[in-house]
Amino acid sequence: MATDLTLHQRRRAPTSQELAGIPWLAVLQPGERERAVREVAVSDAMAGDFVCRVGRPVTYWFGVIEGLLKMSSDNAEGQTMTFSGLPPGGWFGEGTVLKRETYRYNIQALRKSVIAGIPADTFHWLLDHSIGFNRFVMNQLNERLAQFIAAREIDRMNNPDLRVARSLASLFNPVLFPGVGHVLRITQQELAYLVGLSRQRVNEALAALESQGTIRVEYGGLRILDLQALRSSVVVRPTQQTHL
């Protein structure tokens, strides 16, 4: 069965539509892009599959074409800390690839997802030859730093509604996750995994945000109506609940 194979063993050539979902290809010069496209591989991950694991050596730079991943690690007590969700358009782990280190975090698929990657050597070749690629990676690193500072602040928040609001805002980051746009395909349970709250508590927070006109709950996902308000609003919870 295909699911008995590892992600690496399941790799295949990307389709033209999948290549169109890779944002950094657009910044390359023709010769650079030609080499990069030859090296891109994609794989179909099932829910629960690990893309990266703590302690494993880096071999690829990865991105999400479709689906949803989470970045997390376990502490000495066995508790899991989630750093970020990774929706479509997001490429991750550039710092680890730059230093050719082993992973210090796990990346796991929350649902069936399409993962793309280029070998670490190709990543470094692009850094050596492409100004556009360098700028893309530099912007990624800068935005990632801001994301993790915000995640640290979110982790210290005692108000669950604010935790949901800020965590949602991070998933709508147009620099890190350009494939999301204005609609994020996510279930309440998936959001609960990312935020570290119960599904019921997430439901209440979403109802509060929807009542304020910040988001709109749609079938199978969420539509952002006011990103700036989502980043900075004080959430007042209504009595009704909503459902994804």
Summarised one tens digit per residue, pLDDT across range 159-191 is 888 888 888 888 998 889 998 988 999 998 999
What is the pLDDT averaged over residues 62-73? 94
Mean pLDDT of the chain: 88
Enumerate the CATH 1.10.10.10 domain ranges in the chain, comma separated: 159-232
Average pLDDT over residues 1-29: 88
Pairing of strands 60-66, 91-92: antiparallel
In this prediction the pTM is 0.83
Confidence band for 237, pLDDT divided at 50, 70 and 90: low
How far is it, in rounded angstroms, from Cα 213 to Cα 201? 19
Provide CATH 2.60.120.10 ranges for the chain. Answer: 2-152
Paired residues of 184 in beta bridges: 222
For the stretch 133-160, pLDDT in tens is 999 999 999 888 877 776 666 666 678 8
Structure-token match 């990069």, residue found: 36
pLDDT of residue 230: 85
Of the CA atoms within 13 Å of residue 132, those in its CB half-sphere come to 11
Q: With respect to CATH, is domain 2-152 assigned 3.40.50.2000? A: no
- Please state the three-class secondary structure of the chain as a single string: CHHHCCCCCCCECCCHHHHHCCHHHHHCCHHHHHHHHHHCEEEEECCCCEEECCCCECCEEEEEEECCEEEEEECCCCCEEEEEEECCCCEECHHHHHHCCECCCEEEECCCEEEEEEEHHHHHHHHHHCHHHHHHHHHHHHHHHHHHHHHHHHHCCCCHHHHHHHHHHHHCCCCCCCCCCCEEECCHHHHHHHHCCCHHHHHHHHHHHHHCCCEEEECCEEEECCHHHHHHCCCCCCCCCCCC
Would you say domain 159-232 falls under CATH 1.10.10.10?
yes
CA distances from 116 to 10, 13, 29, 160, 164 (A): 12, 10, 20, 34, 28
Residue 10 scores a pLDDT above 70? yes
Residue-level pLDDT at 199 = 92
Over its C-alpha atoms, the chain yields an Rg (Å, rounded) of 18
Summarize the confidence of residues 16-35 as an average pLDDT: 96
The percentage of the chain sitting over the pLDDT mark of 90, rounded to a whole number, equals: 61
Six token digits for residue 53: 């694991």
